[in-house]
């Protein structure tokens, strides 16, 4: 799956006090331990080295940034191209995002609801956000067998469809 969604050229760079500003595509948000940047056809993951007060290199951090790398371009395409296979799925995620914002307001999870990109990254890499926010949301399902899903179930349904339907290669007729 990562092979289909993450560029083989993606670089993960350690940011040290000696790192020059031009070596970074984009500056991370205040107090970010790491961040993903996409600028044109260039992308990168940046992680603060232990020399920084806000540094905390963990598997969760790397997973969070890899989720951004895997999904950012597909989400942006879906938001700008209504004919994209993922457009409807991103619309569902935006509905989920609005509900998550209500629950996360004023909590440690508020940053997770900044946009669809953060919703995806936190939703796939932070167990607390899954438990404390997504699982408490009720949403209608397009699945006839279950008319109501909690937010986490809806999130998993949407992300599974996004990953496995929108990134499928077209089937070509081998006989014709």
Q: What's the pLDDT tens digit per position in 115-160?
A: 999 999 999 889 899 999 988 888 775 544 544 456 667 777 776 6
Where residue 110 falls among pLDDT bands split at 50, 70, 90?
very high
Query: CA 150 to CA 137: how far, in whole Å?
Result: 5
Distances (CA, A) of 68 to 2, 116, 148, 150, 155: 12, 10, 28, 23, 16
Contact 3, 163 (CB under 8 A): no
Whether this prediction's pTM lies above 0.85 is answered by: no
Query: CA 163 to CA 85: how far, in whole Å?
Result: 10
Q: Which residues contact 19 (CB under 8 A, 6 or more apart)?
A: 13
What pLDDT does 105 receive? 96
Query: CA 121 to CA 130: how far, in whole Å?
Result: 11
- Residue 168's Cα: distance from chain center in Å? 19
What pLDDT does 9 receive? 80
Residue 106 pLDDT exceeds 90: yes
Q: What's the pLDDT tens digit per position in 14-63?
A: 888 898 888 888 887 667 788 888 888 888 888 988 887 777 787 888 88
Residue 108 pLDDT exceeds 70: yes
The tokens for 139 are 């949403």
Burial of 46 (0-12, 13-18, 19+ CB in 10 A): buried
Residue 103 pLDDT exceeds 70: yes
């Amino acid at each position: 799956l990562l092979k289909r969604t993450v560029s083989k050229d993606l670089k993960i760079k350690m940011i040290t006090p000696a790192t020059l500003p031009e070596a970074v595509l984009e500056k991370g948000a205040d107090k970010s331990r790491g961040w993903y940047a996409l600028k044109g056809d260039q992308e990168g993951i940046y992680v603060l080295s232990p020399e920084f007060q806000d540094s905390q290199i963990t598997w969760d951090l790397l997973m969070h940034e890899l989720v951004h790398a895997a999904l950012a371009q597909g989400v942006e395409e879906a938001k700008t191209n209504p004919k994209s296979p993922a457009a409807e799925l991103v619309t569902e995620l935006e509905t989920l995002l609005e509900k998550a914002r209500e629950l996360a307001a004023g909590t440690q999870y508020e940053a997770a609801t900044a946009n669809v990109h953060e919703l995806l990254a936190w939703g796939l890499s932070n167990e607390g956000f899954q438990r404390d926010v997504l699982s408490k949301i009720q949403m209608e399902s397009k699945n006839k067998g279950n008319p109501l899903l909690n937010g986490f179930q809806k999130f998993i349904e949407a992300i599974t469809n996004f990953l496995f339907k929108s990134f499928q290669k077209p089937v070509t007729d081998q006989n014709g």
